[in-house]
Structure 1
Amino acid sequence: MKPNIIFIVSDDLGYADLGCYGGRQAPFGAVSPHIDALAAGGLRFEEGYANSPVCSPTRFAMITMRYQYRLRGALEEPINSRSKGDPRLGLPPEIPTLPSRLREAGYATGLVGKWHLGYPPHFGPLRSGYDEFFGIMAGGVDYFTHCSSKGDHDLFIGEQEHREVGYLTDVFSRRAVDFVQRHAERARAGTPFFLSLHYTAPHWPWETRDDAHVAPEVAANLFHLHGGNVHSYRRMIHHMDEGIGWLVDALRQTGQLENTLIVFTSDNGGERFSDNWPLVGGKMDLTEGGIRVPWIAHWPKGIPAGGVTAQHCLTMDWSATMLELGGGSPHPDYPLDGVSLARVLADPADTFARPMHWRMNHRQQRAYRDGDWKYLKVDDHEYLFDIRSDARERANLAPRDPDRLAVMREAWLAWDETMPTIPDDASVSLGYGPKDMPQR
């Protein structure tokens, strides 16, 4: 019997924010007990990565199972409100997606939470394989007003604007529980479901459930430089964790937990209040802190409990894995770049080589990891790191091993040649990259 699949994606979560990744206790206690329990009952990846250090490009890769650089919309780093009405800047409905291919394989599909892949009328979740959508179209909104940084109200059911009172993380969690409960009977009868649960937590603005009595302040820009603190940030993670606990309870109460694959991750590395230890850097960086993220898989029927693996992987690999486990197949005209991890889920010791490539700021940052080694270029500075022994990327071995540097540089360039040309009008990110990297 095919498993139900729930893909939980947090937003800007740091590598070490969770207890199961070494995160510290908060004054109120454990920050992520329910997520930690999923890890204890399943498989935790120690060296898993996001496709990008910024949100919407990762989401393009996640849904298409291909490198995001293949699509014009993903060359915006990230998509922002200027894309509204632009028929180029989003996920074209004709592109095959994970939900569309799973739907063809007999799944009911739904997205609760953040879309961030372009705006109607040209783009939207219902146009790209989801039967249901409840959530936001933009990259981030206020947790109480549900308005974007431009002041536009941004909460939808399908493509119809919807107004609802509540703290957004809780609103998403309850909608996810409702989805699971409504689909329980159909799932037991042989129609499994695929649920994407894409939280905005702990993305800015840094507001907790307890801030409802405070007049909400919509962040004026992506950085929200004047707001937030580490205590609010960790409480936001805890609110998300509580909601995941509600979801697991709903699966248990409806008899679906045993045959439901739950995957948890982040869309990119952490922001200013996150804990990325021992990694350096964060969101928008191709240093480890910007791209290495938590990956947890829980599936009692298919994954042994208590596993840990060093298998390398990218976001699109997990989507390819879900497609395989759901009995779906890639579209013949759109071969996957993602590689299935199904064999590793069944046996964490059954690992394989997985070379991985990134670029950011339209090649101003470049990265390539192959085995223990990582090539990194930031502006005109090149680095070579043995990541297994130097996860903090402090010892630049490029001067000591120029031959290896040259081989890895050429491998990255050869891969880049297989990607489409970057158009001149594609915008770059807001521009903060690795500032504390040693220079050669």
Structure 2
Amino acid sequence: MTGMTRRRVLGSAAAGAASLAGPRAARAAQGPNIVFIMADDLGYADIAAYGRPDLATPQIDRIAATGVRFTQAYANSAVCSATRTALITGRYQYRLPVGLEEPVTTRFAGGLPAEQPTLPGLLRQAGYRTALVGKWHLGSVRDCGPLQRGYDAFWGFRGGTIDYFSHRGTDDKPDLWDGDVRIEEVGYATHLLGRHAVETIAASAKAGRPFFLSLHFNAPHWPWEAPEDEAESRRIAGSNLRHFDGGTQATYRRIVAEMDIQVGRVLDALEANGVAEDTIVVFTSDNGGERFSDTWPFTGRKTELLEGGLRIPALVSWPRRLKAGQVSNQAMITMDWLPTLLAAAGTAPDPGCPPDGIDLLPILTGQAPERPRTFFWRYRANAQAAMRDGDLKYLKIRDQTFLFDVVADPLERANLKARRPEDFARLQSAWTAWDATMLPERAESFSETYTGAQLADHFGAGAPAPK
């Protein structure tokens, strides 16, 4: 080995490894950065870009102005952790036990299985730095946490929500983490998440590799606490944080406005670090709106398979590839983000675990036309089932069944079941066939619902009916 130094040997080995990595690694080195921002329980019309007249969201609206606004975006579930299961796997959540929890509670001892490919894990394999700032809610057990499921870094909380000031969860235990270390940090949660997201962008931009940042806010999820409401935090301390005697429309607007400010800080950080042009920014919600949300022009809300419980805002910008100011009527769903973002990054899903979602990139770039879609849902509380096929929607709540044209009738008022019996039978049969391919519902799984004692407009609702 005359003339072969140790440095040259290591250099040759590195070059060989790069060669073996193939074109996927080469493409990933040029891939766009991705910032995926998810609000919690934000209703379809809760931002100005979707028509809310009493709430200014200029920073979130920047994403719509520079990219695409979807008018027919759906969540995979009417509650958070089930949708998050679909987001991170690209598949119907009902394929995994964690996805049967509606949502995951502190009594659930599992999480995402280690062998399940995930969006951050697949991007990391393709050369991305990956980080989660904010909400995890896919299992609080440490060996099922974000660092074990594809993220290089994690700063946030593991459970379903935290108090905005004390950072305690619904079990009244501290739930703020830096990696796998429990920490304490003073401040309003939305502000802290924004600051850590900005720091993550700055550090990632300097590293010279593409990065994937998941920024999952707890806003505007209850407890109903704006930055001036620390007294409310003290009042409900020691409770499960739900405070059905709390909150107002004004409080809700302030919670959303504070999140909007932090989104602006993130967008400004991308520009300040010179990476805005080639960064994909997504803004969306995990399910339909909660008590103080605006879900117009739909009825229903979180925990319900009516359109208001499933329709969500969804915005995406990518200045280098997508035309600004587009409005897309393409029906899409949360699990589409995995194949779409992987395609944008120059990589692909694990062939052993194909996604149920589709790659939207050809449609977004104008290389393919919009197309009809078929989606399925079920929700154990109140024995709910739903299917959308084109413009038609099959819906079941307890023992009542419906057929709606949700494009002509977004309020879901005109039941077409008797007028179009063949369509009703076709959709009902298709839903039954699809359901047989998923894991069966489990009586021991939690399924959240609201009763008339909790919400006055639910005066006819009680405990879930047995299926």
Q: Same fold (TM over 0.5)?
A: yes
Rounded to whole Å, the distance in 2 between the matches of 1:215 and 1:365 is 34
Rounded to whole Å, the distance in 1 between the matches of 2:216 and 2:451 is 25
Question: Equivalences for 1:96-107 in 2 at 5 Å?
Answer: 96-107=117-128
Rounded to whole Å, the distance in 2 between the matches of 1:219 and 1:107 is 40
Confirm whether residue 23 of structure 1 aligns to residue 52 of structure 2: yes
Question: Equivalences for 1:8-407 in 2 at 5 Å?
Answer: 8-26=37-55, 30=56, 32-83=57-108, 86=109, 89-186=110-207, 189=208, 191-212=209-230, 216=234, 217-218=236-237, 220-221=239-240, 223-347=242-366, 350-361=369-380, 364-407=383-426
Rounded to whole Å, the distance in 2 between the matches of 1:436 and 1:366 is 21
Deviation at 1:90, TM superposition (A): 1.3
Rounded to whole Å, the distance in 2 between the matches of 1:429 and 1:219 is 21
RMSD across aligned positions (CA) = 1.8
Deviation at 1:353, TM superposition (A): 2.1
Q: Structure 1: which 5+ residue stretches go unaligned? A: none
Deviations 1:12-43 (A, max 9, x none): 001111000000134xxx2x111112101110
Deviation at 1:338, TM superposition (A): 1.3
Please give the secondary structure, in 2, of the residue aligned with 1:197: strand
Confirm whether residue 408 of structure 1 aligns to residue 427 of structure 2: yes
Structure number, greater radius of gyration = 2
Rounded to whole Å, the distance in 2 between the matches of 1:223 and 1:376 is 29
Q: Once structures 1 and 2 are overlaid, which stretch shifts more, 277-286 or 418-427?
A: 418-427
Deviation at 1:429, TM superposition (A): 2.3
Rounded to whole Å, the distance in 2 between the matches of 1:203 and 1:136 is 14
Deviation at 1:330, TM superposition (A): 1.5
Q: Structure 2: which 5+ residue stretches go unaligned? A: 1-29, 461-467
Deviation at 1:436, TM superposition (A): 8.8
Relative distance call for 1:393 and 1:233 in structure 2 (3 A) is same
Relative distance call for 1:435 and 1:385 in structure 2 (3 A) is farther
Confirm whether residue 3 of structure 1 aligns to residue 32 of structure 2: yes
Q: Is the 8 A contact 1:307 1:348 kept in 2?
A: no
Confirm whether residue 426 of structure 1 aligns to residue 451 of structure 2: no
Relative distance call for 1:431 and 1:364 in structure 2 (3 A) is farther
Rounded to whole Å, the distance in 2 between the matches of 1:274 and 1:423 is 30
More helix by share: 2
Relative distance call for 1:412 and 1:252 in structure 2 (3 A) is same
Rounded to whole Å, the distance in 2 between the matches of 1:215 and 1:50 is 30
Deviation at 1:214, TM superposition (A): 5.5
TM-score, normalisation: structure 2: 0.88
Rounded to whole Å, the distance in 1 between the matches of 2:254 and 2:458 is 28
Please give the secondary structure, in 1, of the residue aligned with 2:430: helix
**Aligned residue number for residue 4 of structure 2:** none
Rounded to whole Å, the distance in 1 between the matches of 2:222 and 2:386 is 27
Q: Is the 8 A contact 1:308 1:348 kept in 2?
A: no
Relative distance call for 1:143 and 1:348 in structure 2 (3 A) is farther
Deviation at 1:331, TM superposition (A): 1.6
Q: Is the 8 A contact 2:134 2:216 kept in 1?
A: yes
Stretches (4+) displaced over 4 A = 431-437
Rounded to whole Å, the distance in 1 between the matches of 2:382 and 2:296 is 26
Deviation at 1:350, TM superposition (A): 2.2
Q: Is the 8 A contact 2:111 2:141 kept in 1?
A: no
Please give the secondary structure, in 1, of the residue aligned with 2:257: helix
Deviation at 1:134, TM superposition (A): 0.3
Q: Is the 8 A contact 1:6 1:197 kept in 2?
A: yes
The one-letter code sitting in structure 1 at the alignment partner of 2:249 is: V
Deviations 1:40-72 (A, max 9, x none): 111000011000000100000000111000111
Rounded to whole Å, the distance in 1 between the matches of 2:443 and 2:244 is 30
Relative distance call for 1:63 and 1:165 in structure 2 (3 A) is same
Deviation at 1:343, TM superposition (A): 1.2
Q: Is the 8 A contact 2:381 2:449 kept in 1?
A: no
Please give the secondary structure, in 1, of the residue aligned with 2:251: helix
Deviation at 1:348, TM superposition (A): 8.8
